[in-house]
Amino acid sequence: MTPTLKKAIRSFIFSAGDVFQKPAGRIDEENAVSQNLSDSLIEAGYGPNGNSRKKPHAIVHAAGVENLMPIISERVGLDENNIVGMALNVLNFGQNKTFGGVRLELANTLLTCGHPDMALALFKSCLVSTHSVQAHQSYLLCLLLAPKTRNQDLLAAAKQYAHIYDPAETDDIPDHDFDFTLNKRLRIGYICEFFESSVMASGMLGILKRFDRNRFEIFCYSDGRIPDAHRDCADCWQETFDDSDIDLLHRIRADKIDILVDLSGPVAKCRAKTFAMRAAPIQVGGPNYSATGGAPHFDVMFASETLIPIEQEKFFTERIIRNPLFIGYSLPNHDTYEEQVPVSPPPIIKNGGATLGYFGSSHKLNEKTIQNWSTILKSLPNTRILLKAGGFDHAAVRVSILKMFKRYSIGEDRVELRGLSPYKKMLEEYKDVDIALEPYPATGGSTLNDALWQGVPCVTIRGDRMLSLSGPSRLEACGFKDLITKDLGACIAKIESLISNTEKLTAMRKNQRNILLGSNLFDRKGFMQALEGSLIKLWKEKCKINPTVSL
């Protein structure tokens, strides 16, 4: 190893560590991660035009580099295997012409491991250097999940880089010939990357099936797999994974879609550019992002006043279409739970102590959430916590989360981590949970629906932005307003009152499903009437029936 290369690797690792210690938004954007690494690797023959197969393992472990691994492991909460993997990615970057891809990979790993504040610095550095759609979407998602983010931060970040989605001069964008016939069967298009997921099966697909086919025709554009069982939910399914943004635009225009809805949000296969090229007369955004898109290509969002309070409309560039039943972009669809999983008695009866739980995504966890949950566990000594997420199938994620709990004096004996399982099996595992908890700021949507359906009460803290109001909005719609607390102290008191009365807890668990079926959250008929009515009204406005309203 040359001294230059050795110095560069050390520089990269330590500069990344320095970035992690600085407040989000205050890093030196041009030097977030040392560019010396890129220059030195290329000079040493490891660049795109050089030999990238020079025994990278030997390089990583040569001359003391491996001694830095424990330091980084402690700083970022990852085990040494993952740090080595990151170093290998840096050395063996193959076709990646810049280090933006390496930064994105590292940032995504940090986010999955519960460190959004650390990941934010790397996402931002990548965005500044590349101005790519993927970098911007990743940055927005990470910013959304960071506990310290404010509504004005989300709006500013969305608007600042909105130009990224502007069509290029070379894009072949046809002139639109939208059909503004007033009284016609409306064509509604939905774009999504994860139609095959259990989240969609237990929510959105139930909506698609219930549209009045005399008034609406439903088209689904899937950037992922289309399960055969889902095909009867829409009039037309199209696989679009291999489509470029402009290809998808042509496809949607050919289908003459009247209203287009983005169900994906900031995901790997982001389609914001297709929306920016105006694929349909009316375009609906926001369902899977819980914040403003910040760009003119999204016209409207649907939300209740509990989900987006009136005073927060100023943080959205979209027009907010309101109805008390617009609690989320989908509604629980309990007949998709295959065979209904029976509700079990609270496990505290046989265990003697209460089990708190969260079943969801590991990237929604963070230091603030773990600190709050640790405070709850310390305040209620005879309790433990069960966390279930696909991320826990990976050792680095488990190590990271357990280290966070340890920092707040909670040992591994009080924390159980479970990985991914089939949907029905996951529902069955709620038999092991007495009280469900929610992370902050990412409160529950479909995961909360699942917990409530299995009879598990959920105690949450009301937040101050759309993402942290999702859970409280759903609880309020179910009539469980008493489970929404104002702060951590009130949350602890509510949990203590529930677990101290096992007879009441058992009765709640037994009756909860019937309560849900009579609630606004499960009001399918009312939801569909509100949704269809809003879509028709929007179309009438667009056809200039009401010229005082403009989108």
Does residue 181 lie within any of the structural domains?
A: no
Confidence of residue 100 (pLDDT cuts 50, 70, 90): low
Residue with tokens 């470029």: 244
> What pLDDT does 125 receive?
76
Strand order in the sheet with 236-239: 236-239, 216-222, 186-192, 259-262, 282-284, 300-303, 319-322
**Phi, psi of 372, deg, nearest 5:** -60, -45
The fraction of the chain above a pLDDT of 70, given in percent, is: 76
**Residue at 59 is within a domain:** yes
Clarify whether residues 356 and 262 are in a common domain.
no
Tally of CB atoms within 10 A around 431: 16
Token readout for 55 is 């025994």
- Can you give the pLDDT at residue 172? 75
Q: End-to-end distance of the chain based on CA atoms, in angstroms?
A: 61
Indicate the average pLDDT of the chain: 80
The share of the chain scoring above pLDDT 90, in percent, equals: 50
Q: Are 460 and 475 in contact (CB under 8 A)?
A: yes
pLDDT for the residue numbered 73: 54
Residues 190 and 281 in one domain: yes
pLDDT of residue 78: 53
Residue 549 domain-assigned (yes or no)? no
In a domain, 314, yes or no: yes
54-80 CB burial, b ≥16 within 10 A, e <16:
eebeebbeeeebeebbeebbebbbbbe
**What is the DSSP-derived secondary structure letter of residue 340?**
P
Pair (126, 219) in one structural domain:
no
Are both 419 and 303 inside the same structural domain? Answer: no
137 shares a domain with 196: no
Question: For residue 215, what are its two tokens?
Answer: 């008034």
- CA-based nearest residue to 542, from 261, 325, 280: 280
HEC profile of 430-497: HHHCCEECCCCCCCCCHHHHHHHHCCCCECEECCCCHHHHHHHHHHHHCCCHHHEECCHHHHHHHHHH
In the numeric block, which tokens belong to residue 314?
A: 């100023």
pLDDT digits (tens, 9 = 90+) for 404-447: 999 999 999 999 999 999 888 999 999 999 999 999 999 988 88
Strand ranges in 140-215 using DSSP code E only, listed in sequence order: 186-192
CATH number for 357: 3.40.50.2000
513/482 same-domain check: yes
Nearest residue to 243 (alpha-carbon basis) of 279, 277, 276, 269: 269
pLDDT at 352 over 60: yes
User: Which of 71-75, 251-255, 258-262, 544-548 has the weakest average pLDDT?
Assistant: 71-75
Chosen domain end from 300, 331, 362: 331
Q: Which residues of 379-414 are buried (b: 16+ CB within 10 A; e: fewer)?
A: ebeebbbbbbbebbebebbbbbbbbbbeeeebeeeb
Q: 272 and 195, same structural domain?
A: yes
Q: Flag whether 170 is in a domain.
A: no
Token pair listed for 12: 């990269």
User: Would you state the pLDDT for residue 190?
Assistant: 94
**Main-chain dihedrals φ then ψ at residue 502, nearest 5 degrees:** -70, -30
498 and 357 share one domain: yes
Q: What is the mean pLDDT of residues 108-124?
A: 80
Q: Is residue 478 part of a domain?
A: yes
Average pLDDT over every residue of 485-504:
97
**Distance separating alpha carbons of residues 97 and 28, to the nearest angstrom:** 22
Residues 70-89, mean pLDDT to the nearest whole number: 50
Question: pLDDT (tens digit, 9 = 90+) per residue, 304-320?
Answer: 999 999 999 999 999 99
CA-CA distance, 491 to 73, in Å (whole number)?
33
AA letter at 485: T
Mean pLDDT across the stretch 467-473?
94
- In this prediction, residue 299 carries a pLDDT of 95
Same domain, 8 and 156: yes
Q: Are residue 253 and residue 304 in the same domain, yes or no?
A: yes
- Residue 534 belongs to a domain: no
Which pLDDT tens digit goes with each residue over 127-153? 877 778 888 888 888 999 999 999 999
Which residues pair with residue 188 across a beta bridge?
218, 259
* Owning domain of residue 409: 340-522
Which pLDDT tens digit goes with each residue over 499-540?
999 999 999 999 999 999 899 988 888 999 999 999 999 999
Helices marked H in 100-203: 100-112, 116-130, 133-145, 151-160, 198-201
Q: What is the CATH number of the domain that holds 276?
A: 3.40.50.11380
- CA 97 to chain CA centroid, nearest Å: 29
At residue 112, the pLDDT reads 81
Residue 57 has pLDDT above 50, yes or no: no
Number of domains in the chain: 3
Binned at pLDDT 50, 70 and 90, residue 387 comes out as: very high
Using alpha carbons, select from 455, 477, 467, 466 the residue that is nearest to residue 526: 477
Q: What is the pTM of this model?
A: 0.81
Question: Per the domain annotation, does 512 fall within a domain?
Answer: yes
Are residues 158 and 220 both part of a single domain?
no
Structure tokens, 446:
């479909």
Claim to verify: residue 287 and residue 401 sit in the same structural domain: no
